A and B are shown apart, each in its own frame.
Chain A
Amino acid sequence: MESPFSGGEFKPEELYKASAERFFELLKTFAAPSPAAGGAAHDWSQMAGPLATQLEQWLRMSQSAGSWFSAPGAAAAAPGFMGSQWPFGPLPLGPAAVQKPETQRIWELAARFAQLQTQLAAHWGEIARSAAQRFIARAGVPSAPPSLDQTLKLYELWVTCAEEAYAATARGEDFSRLQSELANVSAAILVEQRRHAESLAKAFGLPTRNEVDVLYAHVKELSRRLAELAAGSAPPQRPAARAKTAKAGKAARTKGSARKRRGRA
């Protein structure tokens, strides 16, 4: 996932540079002479393919969508893999250390994850094609090459078409269900990996996550009781302050009851 916090350092120009690169790629597509028109004018219908391909590639890489593609896929979810930045990624424990049933379960989940990724990719393809078609239907036939202002307007139109196409798919039942399932399978992989880590910790006589959790729960309960005791022994408020607050509260109630408003102010 792209972020301006690369390597722990805040670099606001990184995302800007990446976006500018993609923007210029798009401009090149807009400006390229159309083979069908002999380079004289733009035939947008010829550009549907390149535009859709560009958009689909970007969807796979983008900040918002990239999570599911940098997340553990069929190969990446194998124990021992640690190339992903995804926080639910596999732990670097090595295949030899994994018990067979656990390995089997993780492989099943990884396979399911790969299936879901394929389904997601199909949606990206659908969005990209729909965006390109919408764009072509609305772009008109400008003279070639377009001016800077025309190009920026084309870009704005392109973004609008892409958002519309995206929204049409993203609001659908299939896409929504897929988002939930991707989250569930990612979570299940992480839980399985942690289960494996627990058994390893136990084997080496180390404290396990479950044991630490029990201790935290104990501390939390003690803290809660302490807070209750502290609240019970709090000194009473000053009478003057109490009177002031009561007056303010009464005033608010009195004004409020006469001022019932339901419309926009």
Chain B
Amino acid sequence: MNVASALGGGIFPELALRLTETLTRLQAARGVSVGCSAKRAVFSLGKTTLYEYLPLAPARAGHLPILICFALVNRPYVLDLQPERSLVRRLLEAGLGVYLIDWGDPDEADRHTDLEDYIEQHLGGCVRHVLGSSGSEALNLLGVCQGGVLSLCYTALHSAHVARLITITTPVDFHTPANLLSRWVRGVDTELLAACGNVPGEVLNGVFLGLMPFRLTQEKYVRLLTGRPEQRAVEDFVRMERWIFDSPPQAGAALAQFVRWFYQENAFVQGTLRIAGERVDLAHVQQPLLNLYALDDHIVPPDASAAIRRYIGSRDYTEHAIRTGHIGMYVSGVACKEIPRRIVAWLEERR
């Protein structure tokens, strides 16, 4: 862009200078790396890969391994984005064993992969692998966003495999008044959606950005321009950009079921959910449960997540709300300190 012409003859030369500087820094930041902790693949099924992170501290005695189940709709590396912003790293530094599920990129062979496959075979396969290799009968399951929904389903169905459950930005009541996404998809024909096959990640991404378009697609860039950030801050920004726009495609059948069962039928709340012929009853979730959610979340409104307390059977429920947005829960300074600290302390109390 010709800055001078854009400014109409130099109305704000200082802004023009900032724009040029930031552009140079953004170009220099193209190659930033994402994901920082050493890990190895230990199990795979279809496109799903289970990673085990290499320890960073002596193992903390008496703790079961943590299995992180992220959402299908985004990449899990946001939990280990860079050393200063990594939930995974903080857990490793606390001496906990950490495993993470990467769902991979479904292709046309996976268009009929449904939620039962993801929960019973993929998540279930990862759980069984961790249990087998650690010699434990149960593990600590940490579900994030949509991954929290899958984790709740799994825990309700296979209670014996999960010792403790941690949920982050996990919706349970999909029909709370602030849930804009739920309003938009209420009339979607899910059979037609499933018949279309896989849905590209860009389509879902457009929907998410459409929930708050001016803040998410305009203001954040202008803030970058006017803030005159240093190279390091620009690199942090670029890492987030890479993650936000690096959305995997969605298996058609699983997405259609998710929309229908949760966004349309609100099946957790209505008690109508069935997976593999079994009723998924949240009253069967009797494990200690730590629920962390964001107060300014535009995708999973706080009420949607806090509702979990009304439906689970656990008598040991703890929740903590953080003043940030949905993505801020993964990368904001406050969340990056608060969340690992809360998780480690909560687990330590229940060792």
Contact = CB atoms under 8 A, between A and B. Distances in A.
Which interface residue of A10, A28, A162, A191 has the most chain B CB atoms within 10 A? A10
A182 B245 CA distance: 23
Interface in B1-52: 1, 6-8, 11-12, 14-15, 19, 22-23, 26-27, 29-30
A143 interface: no
Contacts of A15: 217, 221, 241
A204 interface: no
A148 interface: yes
A261 interface: yes
Contacts of B202: 1, 3, 87
B186 A148 contact: no
B217 A19 contact: yes
A187 to B, nearest CB: 4
Interface stretch (A45-53, A93-101, A243-251): A243-251
B214 A162 contact: yes
Contact of B132 (A64, A234, A248): A234
B137 A249 contact: yes
Given A256-B316, A257-B316, A245 B200 contact: no
B222 A20 contact: yes
A20 B189 contact: no
Contact of A180 (B111, B186, B351): B186
A162 to B, nearest CB: 5
A155 interface: yes
B333 to A, nearest CB: 20
B203 interface: yes
Interface in A245-265: 245-246, 248-249, 251-252, 255-257, 259-262, 264-265
A84 interface: no
B138 A5 contact: no
Given A13-B23, A16-B224, A187-B196, A238 B135 contact: yes
Interface string A191-220: 100000000000000000000110011001
Nearest to B9: A28
A25 B218 CA distance: 13
Contacts of A16: 22-23, 26, 221, 224-225
Contacts of B125: 227
B187 A20 contact: no
A244 B218 CA distance: 53
Contacts of B23: 13, 16-17
Contacts of B318: 261, 265
A110 to B, nearest CB: 16
Contacts of B222: 19-20, 23, 155
A10 B29 CA distance: 10
Interface string B288-326: 100000000000000000000100001111111100000
Nearest to B210: A64
B11 A166 contact: no
A87 B221 contact: no
Chain B residues touching A, majority SS: helix
B12 A264 contact: no
Given A1-B206, A155-B222, A171-B180, A12 B30 contact: yes
B180 A240 contact: no
A191 B30 contact: no
Nearest to A215: B109
A180 B184 contact: yes
* Interface of chain A: mostly helix, strand, loop or mixed: helix
A170 B195 contact: no
Interface residues of B, number: 90
Contacts of B337: none
A105 interface: no
A151 B12 contact: yes
Interface residues of A, number: 86
Interface string B171-198: 0000000001001111111001101100
A163 B26 CA distance: 27
A39 interface: no
B77 to A, nearest CB: 14
Nearest to B290: A265
A175 to B, nearest CB: 8
Given A12-B26, A251-B351, A171 B183 contact: yes
A11 B29 CA distance: 9
Contacts of B206: 1, 63-64, 66-67
B274 interface: no
Contact of A12 (B29, B192, B317, B319): B29
Given A62-B213, A176-B187, A237-B135, A262 B242 contact: no
A249 B139 CA distance: 10
Looking at A170, A179, A234, which has the most chain B CB atoms within 10 Å of its CB?
A179
B277 interface: no
B284 interface: no
25 contacts: A15-B221, A16-B23, A16-B26, A19-B222, A24-B6, A63-B213, A64-B206, A64-B216, A66-B206, A87-B199, A148-B14, A152-B226, A159-B214, A159-B218, A170-B180, A176-B184, A180-B188, A181-B187, A191-B195, A241-B135, A245-B136, A260-B315, A264-B319, A264-B320, A265-B320
For the complex of A and B, 4 pairs with smallest distance between CB atoms: A256-B316, A241-B135, A180-B187, A64-B210
Given A15-B217, A170-B211, A261-B317, 6 more contacts: A19-B222, A216-B111, A237-B137, A249-B163, A257-B315, A265-B319
